[in-house]
Structure 1
Amino acid sequence: MSATFASPDDDTIPLHIIAADDMDAWRAEQSEDTLAWIDANGFVGRIGQTLLIPGPGGRPVMAIAGFGTGEKRARGRFHLAAAAARLPKATYRIVSGLPDDRAEREALGWLLSAYKFDHYIQAGEEGAGLVTPEGIDANRITAIAAGEALTRGLINTPSCDMGPAELEDAARDLAARHGATVSVVHGDDLLSENFPLIHTVGRASDRAPRLIDMRWGDAGPAITLVGKGVCFDTGGLNLKPGASMGLMKKDMGGAANVLGLAHMIMATALNVRLRVLIPAVENAVSGNAFRPGDILPSRKGLSVEINNTDAEGRLVLADALTFAQEEDPDLIISMATLTGAARVAVGPDLAPFFCDDEGFARALETAAVQTDDPVWRMPFHTPYESMIEPGIADLDNAPKGGFAGSITAALFLRRFVSTSTYAHFDVYGWNPADAPARPKGGTGQATRALLDLIRDKSSA
């Protein structure tokens, strides 16, 4: 579920946002009764603190929410969301204290904090509602929140209900909502249509593999988003241990991210020619599963030696990236829950990305700061190319030695893009613990930053 801004009514409660640094100045303007109530409840303006101020009849006449100190704000994001989660159910209207330069981000955080994955349980009570703050683009913020909710919902859905067919349904539903078109290559047709790696990875499952191709827009820069759609990853014959398999419903997080980003792009009507490609498979175990030591053909004609069947994401992406490059778009972006090495390098909160285009990288890093959507640039370190060249095939899908796993995976993918500007995101797609506006579970990463960057490209 996603949230929208509330409509004001007679019961709307004025909300004052108070930074701890500004507490004395705000207190100087309040009545003795209000100050006594604040002191009795220990409100000092910490991030996440909230308090309703009662009037003579006991009904609240205002609410206050802490905004912390500058030092504390610098260590986190979505500070108003921390208060939104604690305010009683009501409709609130911000009347003071929201910095102009943070208004859109904090309003978005409020909407993001309303997300709950309640598909399998009795839905709980809705939380606090917010009247659209002055000076923000409500339609844009709502579209971003809805895109993030789409991403979260897809990742959070267990694989029993989110296989390749259901992922296709999600893409078709999104396309129908925005007037986009979808074509899909299914099952053994992948072989006749020359997608051998996608077919090989998905053939062991009784849930047919497929390549989903969505298109929208007929003017502006051509932008192709490619998302890894491994709906469950057992590891194949290189079977994962049980502890590592527990979160593998999120291995289609790249696909969920690009679908969420696609919604944001279409809902805000950016002037782009958008294409979304999702190789959707389940990496299962059966008698016809691909094996360690196999040498497989790819759509591009490069041969790939399989040294680990658990490095399957880069295989399905390779065919999809080749297909994307055949139209020579202005920009190709791949997003994938690809390597544990990326998570070890930067943790779950940062989205590592690889790109050779300095202008793109700088613009993305700027957008990431402006949108509270952190990214970290990683190197396409060309000297490591030899690590993905096994000698008996063109490429190795899983170099031995354990060094630079995220980099070698990115270098592998780069072999399938030749002329377009290319950026690869090795996302984690999961919040391991609750945080303001980011509940534990599936999450979008780098999509808001990419939306800002694409918006700028579309209007240039």
Structure 2
Amino acid sequence: MTDYAKLLKADNGQSARTIHLVDKSTFDDWLKAQPQRHRTAVAAQKLTPTGYASAILPGDGAEDWSVVSVVANVDALSPWCLAKLGETLPEGTYRLAEGEPGPAMFGWLTAQYRFTRYKDDNGGGERVLLTGEPARIEETVRLAEATAKVRDLINTPAGDLGPAQLEAAIKDLGETHGATVGVIQGRELERDYPMIHAVGQAAGEGREPRLIELEWGRDGDPRIAIVGKGVCFDSGGLDIKPAAGMKLMKKDMGGSAHAIALAGLVMAARLPVRLHLLVPAVENSVSGNAFRPGDVLRTRKGLTVENTNTDAEGRLILGDALAKAGESNPELIVDFATLTGAARVALGPDLPATFIRDEDLASQFQAAADAESDPIWRMPLWDAYDEMLKSDIADLVNAPEGGFAGAVTAALFLRRFVPEGTPWAHLDVFGWRPSAKPGRPKGGEAYALRAAYRMLKDRYDG
């Protein structure tokens, strides 16, 4: 993993190349004030005031050069303003000519992320950014590390990341922060968490289903639960996916990656909460003992579910996990899941469909998302669609016929397992970036992670 702490340092006057920032409104005046050699270089490199454009400015000597880069607003930098430079500049140390990078430090770091488990790629060496705001360094590094954790977990193929490996990742996290980790599997899982067991029972030896729980914090602090969908590979089960639909299903544990990373942020910041992390970890496979369409499943909550589609398995395992989370009377539950294609059709890959059952929590979450430039989009828990979950032979179905409002009905299914009155946020995330953007490479990606952490920090440590 990239050592982000090396890439962001306090500015103590050390030698560094200079980065000049301009935007559309300041570009012409800046250019007029430059020496002729800079104007010539800008013209030769065809620099125009468009996003992420940059040019090298010559100095008195061959090695004495600086950089000019175009941003959207020099007075209000976003997390991504310096990301392109973080990817493309030569190895070295840099500082802004004026002002501080502020939130743009994050994109500088995440631009240097590389997934190198299966091939070498140093990205052209280390690019170090100096800042006169050293108090911001530690948390920015933690956020970059958490984002990299999500990316690494999602990018890892299912052959190397099954339920046992998710368990190991959570145990490592618990050891780092002095938390308690427990694992429920086998007969106990079948008895107490029947939907988790049913979904994962067809997986082979060594990939058995399990519920992984982490507990951390002091008695007496507000109790919160973070839940993440951990389907390490989703074949679709007996309602098997076509090849194209199965291609990216290593990412179906993306919800658990987000939950693990968020739990790590909470513990590293030592927020005054009593944390309960729950990850139901399964592989939805096909074999002679796979659960079937039409089966009626028992649940931890006592409801019965008619399984109308084995490819709607994520909500099943989350139902049992949410029921368990609610038994400890938390004052807040947040879950992450790569749950529905319907959310992607509606909102695309960049906007997590967010369902929140509490107006104060919704306002807090939206404010945090805006502050972090980490967007969410609130979707309705539309009560009238609850009737779509009716079953002729059980308490509810997992996948209504017709396909209407798929993200909404999935959220309504989950709501059945959350205690009435408990503030709850459900984030239906894609977990994958289909094409690269500065600071955000193609592949596994964290969505709403910074927003969720900021919400928790503001709520409990503000």
Measured against the shorter chain, the TM-score band is over 0.9
Query: What is the 5 A alignment of 1:297-312?
Result: 297-312=298-313
Q: Which amino acid aligns with 1:116?
A: R
Q: 2:92 touches 2:127 (CA, 8 Å); kept in 1?
A: yes
Q: 2:93 touches 2:127 (CA, 8 Å); kept in 1?
A: yes
CA distance in 2, matches of 1:10, 1:133: 12
Q: 2:305 touches 2:396 (CA, 8 Å); kept in 1?
A: yes
Q: 1:298 touches 1:319 (CA, 8 Å); kept in 2?
A: yes
Deviates more, 1:118-127 or 1:338-347: 118-127
Equivalent residue number for residue 441 of structure 2 = 439
Q: 1:14 touches 1:92 (CA, 8 Å); kept in 2?
A: yes
Task: Work out which of the residue numbers 23, 26, 29 in structure 2 matches 1:19.
Answer: 23
Task: Indicate the SS of the match to 2:97.
Answer: strand
Question: 1:30-67 deviations in whole A, cap 9, x for unaligned?
Answer: 32333333333223343222233232221134222221
Distance 1:403 1:296, change over 3 A: same
Task: Indicate the SS of the match to 2:34.
Answer: coil
Pairing 1:109–2:110 present: no
Equivalent residue number for residue 156 of structure 1 = 155
Distance 1:97 1:67, change over 3 A: farther
Question: 1:158-186 deviations in whole A, cap 9, x for unaligned?
Answer: 00000000011111111222222211112
Query: What is the 5 A alignment of 1:60-459?
Result: 60-68=64-72, 78-96=80-98, 103-124=101-122, 125-134=124-133, 137-192=136-191, 194-206=192-204, 207-218=207-218, 220-418=221-419, 419-459=421-461
Q: Which amino acid aligns with 2:158?
A: S
Q: 1:229 touches 1:253 (CA, 8 Å); kept in 2?
A: yes
Q: 2:340 touches 2:407 (CA, 8 Å); kept in 1?
A: yes
Task: Work out which of the residue numbers 43, 46, 50 in structure 1 matches 2:50.
Answer: 46
CA distance in 1, matches of 2:65, 2:184: 59
Question: 1:224-270 deviations in whole A, cap 9, x for unaligned?
Answer: 00000000000101011111000000000000011111122222222
Structure 1 unpaired stretches of 5+: none
TM-score by length of 1: 0.94
Task: Indicate the SS of the match to 1:145.
Answer: helix
Q: 2:389 touches 2:413 (CA, 8 Å); kept in 1?
A: yes
Q: 1:45 touches 1:68 (CA, 8 Å); kept in 2?
A: no
Structure 2 unpaired stretches of 5+: none
Q: 2:304 touches 2:395 (CA, 8 Å); kept in 1?
A: yes
Deviates more, 1:136-145 or 1:148-157: 136-145
Question: 1:431-453 deviations in whole A, cap 9, x for unaligned?
Answer: 00001111111111111111111
Deviates more, 1:162-171 or 1:83-92: 83-92
CA distance in 1, matches of 2:140, 2:14: 25
CA distance in 1, matches of 2:268, 2:29: 42
CA distance in 1, matches of 2:264, 2:223: 16
Q: Which amino acid aligns with 1:20?
A: K
Question: 1:296-327 deviations in whole A, cap 9, x for unaligned?
Answer: 10001000001101111111001100100000
Task: Indicate the SS of the match to 2:103.
Answer: helix
CA distance in 1, matches of 2:36, 2:94: 24
Q: 2:47 touches 2:54 (CA, 8 Å); kept in 1?
A: yes
Distance 1:212 1:411, change over 3 A: same
Q: 2:82 touches 2:108 (CA, 8 Å); kept in 1?
A: yes
Deviates more, 1:429-438 or 1:262-271: 262-271
CA distance in 2, matches of 1:339, 1:270: 31
Question: 1:204-227 deviations in whole A, cap 9, x for unaligned?
Answer: 001111101012211532110000
Q: 1:143 touches 1:268 (CA, 8 Å); kept in 2?
A: no
Q: 2:8 touches 2:137 (CA, 8 Å); kept in 1?
A: no
Percent identity between the aligned chains?
A: 45
Q: 2:90 touches 2:125 (CA, 8 Å); kept in 1?
A: no
Pairing 1:34–2:38 present: yes
Aligned length: 452
Question: 1:379-436 deviations in whole A, cap 9, x for unaligned?
Answer: 1111111110112100101111111111111111000111421111111111000011
Q: Which amino acid aligns with 1:114?
A: Q
Calculate the aligned-residue CA RMSD, in Å. Answer: 1.9
Query: How big is the shift at 1:135?
Result: 6.5
CA distance in 2, matches of 1:82, 1:361: 33
Query: How big is the shift at 1:117?
Result: 1.0
Task: Indicate the SS of the match to 2:301.
Answer: coil
CA distance in 2, matches of 1:10, 1:457: 38
Q: 2:37 touches 2:58 (CA, 8 Å); kept in 1?
A: no
Task: Indicate the SS of the match to 2:26.
Answer: helix
